[in-house]
Structure 1
Amino acid sequence: MSVLDSLAAISLLSVWFLCIEASVHDYAGEKFVSKGNAFVVHGGSEGIYFSLPNQNESAANCDSCIRFEKITFRRPKEYSNFSSRLVQALIFEVDDRETIGGSAYGGQRAVCCTADLAKLGVCSQGEIIHRPSSQNPGWPKVFGVSFNADELTAKLQPKSIQITKTGMYNLYFIHCDPNLKELVVEGKSIWKNPTGYLPGRMAPLMNFYGFMSLAFVILGIFWFSQYARFWREVLPLQNCITLVITLGMLEMALWYFDYAEFNENGVRPTGITVWAVTFGTVKRTVSRLIILMVSMGYGVVRPTLGGLTSKVIMLGATFFLASEVLELVENVGTVSDLSGNARLFLVLPVAILDAFFILWIFKSLSATLNKLQARRMMAKLDIYRKFTNALAVAVIVSVGWICYELYFKSTDVYNEQWQNAWIITAFWQVLSFSLLCVICALWAPSQNSTRYAYSDDGEEFDRDDTLTLIKPSPIPSKDVRSPPEVRPAHGGNDVSNGDLEEDKTE
């Protein structure tokens, strides 16, 4: 792998896992890492929209720029007895990546100018190899500073780089002097878009979460109005759905305020981010548990989950912990430091638990549908069939989107499609909201809510509407027999006991 490939790989990790502390990139003693014949510190990668230069704007108030503040390079005293070569800052747009580096006589591509290339007169030995961009005049930007003998620090002058072309920009601090051992960089770089400090890849998400907040408010108005009208008929399952809607409203609002604060100040509000992540994780966990319990027939064909309660709670708690850790690591702090293997280690448990949820849900749905059909509970059977179809569509769409997401990431190696990357995050929110709307439509509070609830009386009204017009005889005759599941009082107890026994054995 060449040095340029290494730089591209670093950029890829930094962008896809970019939930940096802010668009203000802080460097607190970052050490240079050897990459080929260069020593590199990755300073950041962000999508930036262009703005036309304004002669009246100051460097501190530019509309679209990358600004350097207090960038300082430090070396230990024991390695300070010589004058060094340049320590340089390199900024380039992803389309100009081929203008960085070179090779002599078809050899391995390198970032630092070698003696052979210096003899050809294409660069100065010990400096970064770069050529002017044909598409973006004046780019890439390369500037640096060197150490004099016995100097422990070297400072870059404050500088503001105006962005005049929309693109994915990469910043690296690079030196080519192997004698500069233990060199570190301190200070910060500030990346600004015309609309604020949000990275270009994340900027559309602020408006998206605003729209999602409005969508949850509309859903909440519908649900809570029905809840208030028929509060005497409300089932425990509907109370759980109310909790999910409330958590969703809070989550979307918190994400919007998180992005708005980030965009305004350039520093991500850690407290709001943690709360948004936590509410989102709780919502996803409760949603999965509700779907699982509904699939098992809780409150519909069985009064309790029986012996499965502890297993369901354990699965939910494990999923919550795994998801919370993953989301906190992805959204709080400097995620650029997280390697691909480390992130895979955190993603795998969540993916496995999700797959387990799906398998258990559909297995339980199959058993519940068979039970409803055997007991001829047609109203409940109809609602469960609709619920099953909605879940099946959601799973199929999810699998298709995952395949598209893998294709998107594998083909966009250099993040040239960064302006569309927000859609991947938005899709999962839209899908979960759509499924929640379906559940709300199927189980909305109404005057007939008890029609779908578990009952000890055999639920004869649910099997056929005409049966409700016939007053059952207290003494069964030889000519008119009760349906198999409608029995005397002691028979109803037998059915309930049978369900409980089934719960214990599942």
Structure 2
Amino acid sequence: MAPSPLKPLAALLLLACLSILATAETTWLSSDSSYPLACAGMYAKSDIPTPGTDAWIRVQFSDLSNGHIAMVIYEHQDLQYIGATYSDDELIEDNEPKYICDTSAIASNICTNSSLGSFLFSLPPSLPLNATSIYTKTFQFVYTSNGVVTAEQGASYQVSRTGYYCVVILTTRTKDPGAPFFEADIDWQNSYGELPAIEYPKIWFYGLFSILYLVIGVLWMIQSLRYWRDILTVQNYISGVIFFLMVEMAFNWAYWQNYNINGKPSWGLLAMVVITNAGRNSISFFMLLIVCMGYGVVKPSLGSTMQRCAALAYTHFAFGVIYSSGTMLMDPDDAGIIIVLVIFPLALTMTLFYVWILQSINQTLTVLDLRRQTVKAIMYRRLYRLLVFSVGMVILFFFLNAFNFSYRNTPGWAARNWKWRWFMLDGWLNVLYFIVFFVIVVLWRPTENNRRYGLDQLSQDEDEAMDLENRLRAAEGLGFEGMKNRTNGAGGALGDDAIIFELGGDELSDEEDGKGGAYRERGRSAGGVGMSGAKAVLQVESIDVEAAEEQYVFGP
């Protein structure tokens, strides 16, 4: 008997469990294909939350098809029933079962002449074929002088339960003359619309997050209006990010909803999704970085450092656009080395952001501890724990995904993971981002105590202020050389170790009271420290090494 393509069919059917998931509503197959099979997840009508039509798998052959063709459609769980074994195991090459009834199978009493050219099955005696998900059909295409004559050129299969379905089409060599050949279009028609089943959860996912960010935005706006006089610069940044997130989630939802209705992606919406997604990540990292540097809380300005932060954010945005475009347009199974080239630049800038952020928040915490600004220090420690949590989760999910995808070539992997693959690749990052951002919103929400996070937190007693001077000078030995002292209001420079105290009390002289009740002492001495009711306000300016205009200001 001449060699036929049926010999490697056992491996072929196993590959059906891990084949590339359908990325569109229609799959094209040909007898010239390396593996003439197609698989996709399908949702039954009863398993979708909205009213819909029945789910169908439709196979339509082209007029070029010729010869005897066998087709089988099945849900992955019933793969075990496809194929039959010889009664004498010695007749089986490599112990492979037989999948198509041919003359050798008939001779071995596996099948009869009436089943010639059909698929074979091994079912328990108590399980009839119609009780499984398996549907099989044979087609006979014969050329005549008038063209192709055949009773049917297609088949329809109604999906009654949610699962991972495969279609296998094979040409068989019977007594018909000529080389058998086929071309077929397979239409996966789900109950909810035209979107591939692996992408369907994204409609609800992005719709839900659009509502969540809208609720956060409304609550944030209410709080901002209540305390608008005390709004900090950082809180204005957060307001902008919240609005940006609402827009981004809305574009994501619109893209997938439009895809589901029309059966093809909208390039305009796709461009907006790519840009807003990359912008969201870049703006968030930028905002987090300057907050961890103490902008608006410890420092009124970042000088040239702000430009470096912006440059990193712009670079991250550019790589983010490339990454988002790649993940939206390329199948990870087909991309190969290209997907690595797409991911690596983004991973590099993200790593730089994380390292810089953690380094900055550690330095800010050191400064706050030296200045004994406990309220700010507590808030920054909470932020630090949140960042450590996010880094830990990113690392954890990276290894979990790497471990999971390392088994993608094993039988049954695609069938087990098709429902959750979108979440492993994209969904969990959005969930983690939401958790981190929500905690930041709670920590930095506008309240009546906004001023405690501003630049005017006061030292409450004279002994603390005097001790703080010594601690700040000692900080220079820890690498904070930028801490210098402020020039006075008249323009005269104070000494390197000079500080300014404003002392006020109930026992001022008449002359001092007539001049406004203000008494200033310059230098290291604290002559007025012993006065009852005195308040010390330390004003310290931190001169940046590269931009000598950055200041640490404490005092009204």
TM-score, normalising length: structure 2 = 0.68
Deviation at 1:170, TM superposition (A): 2.0
Contact 2:16 2:39 in 1 (8 A): no
Deviation at 1:168, TM superposition (A): 0.7
**In structure 1, which of residues 116, 120, 143 is the aligned counterpart of residue 108 of structure 2?**
120
Match of 1:48 in 2: 43
What are the residue-to-residue correspondences of 1:40-79 with 2, within 5 Å?
40-49=35-44, 63-69=54-60, 71-72=61-62, 74=64
Match of 1:434 in 2: 435
The count of residues paired between Structure 1 and Structure 2 equals 460
What are the residue-to-residue correspondences of 1:321-470 with 2, within 5 Å?
321-332=318-329, 335=331, 338-409=334-405, 413-421=413-421, 423-424=423-424, 425-446=426-447, 448-453=449-454, 455=455, 459=456, 461-464=457-460
Match of 2:77 in 1: 95
SS of residue in 1 equivalent to 2:413: coil
Tell me the distance in 1 between the aligned counterparts of 2:315 and 2:172: 48
Deviation at 1:440, TM superposition (A): 1.3
Paired AA for residue 520 in structure 2: P
Deviation at 1:439, TM superposition (A): 1.2
Contact 1:86 1:146 in 2 (8 A): yes
Tell me the distance in 1 between the aligned counterparts of 2:314 and 2:46: 48
What are the residue-to-residue correspondences of 1:79-478 with 2, within 5 Å?
85-100=67-82, 105-107=92-94, 109=96, 113=100, 119-120=107-108, 122=110, 129-131=119-121, 136-137=131-132, 139-144=134-139, 146=141, 148=143, 157-175=153-171, 185=183, 187=185, 189-193=187-191, 195-332=192-329, 335=331, 338-409=334-405, 413-421=413-421, 423-424=423-424, 425-446=426-447, 448-453=449-454, 455=455, 459=456, 461-464=457-460, 471=504, 473-476=519-522, 478=525
Deviation at 1:346, TM superposition (A): 2.9
Find the structure with the greater CA-based Rg. Answer: 2
Deviation at 1:341, TM superposition (A): 4.5
Tell me the distance in 1 between the aligned counterparts of 2:333 and 2:406: 21
* C-alpha distance after superposition, 1:329-363 (max 9, x if no partner): 3334x738734554344334433433333222212
Tell me the distance in 2 between the aligned counterparts of 1:270 and 1:45: 24
Residues 42, 211 of structure 1: alpha-carbon distance in 2 compared, 3 angstrom cutoff: same
Structure number with the bigger relative contact order (C-alpha 8 A, sep ≥ 6) is: 1
Tell me the distance in 2 between the aligned counterparts of 1:462 and 1:417: 57
Residues 180, 390 of structure 1: alpha-carbon distance in 2 compared, 3 angstrom cutoff: farther
Residues 470, 98 of structure 1: alpha-carbon distance in 2 compared, 3 angstrom cutoff: farther
Residues 237, 73 of structure 1: alpha-carbon distance in 2 compared, 3 angstrom cutoff: farther
Question: What is the alpha-carbon root mean square deviation over aligned residues?
Answer: 4.3
Residues 356, 222 of structure 1: alpha-carbon distance in 2 compared, 3 angstrom cutoff: same
Return 5+ residue gaps in structure 2 as ranges: 1-6, 86-90, 466-500, 505-517, 530-535, 551-556
Residues 378, 157 of structure 1: alpha-carbon distance in 2 compared, 3 angstrom cutoff: same
TM-score, normalising length: structure 1 = 0.74
Tell me the distance in 1 between the aligned counterparts of 2:461 and 2:264: 62
Residues 380, 138 of structure 1: alpha-carbon distance in 2 compared, 3 angstrom cutoff: closer
Tell me the distance in 1 between the aligned counterparts of 2:236 and 2:119: 65
Match of 2:513 in 1: none
* C-alpha distance after superposition, 1:29-51 (max 9, x if no partner): 978333xxxxx345441233266
Tell me the distance in 2 between the aligned counterparts of 1:26 and 1:368: 57
Paired AA for residue 328 in structure 2: N
Paired AA for residue 339 in structure 2: R
Contact 1:66 1:162 in 2 (8 A): yes
Residues 186, 64 of structure 1: alpha-carbon distance in 2 compared, 3 angstrom cutoff: closer
Residues 32, 348 of structure 1: alpha-carbon distance in 2 compared, 3 angstrom cutoff: farther
Deviation at 1:403, TM superposition (A): 3.9
Residues 208, 237 of structure 1: alpha-carbon distance in 2 compared, 3 angstrom cutoff: same
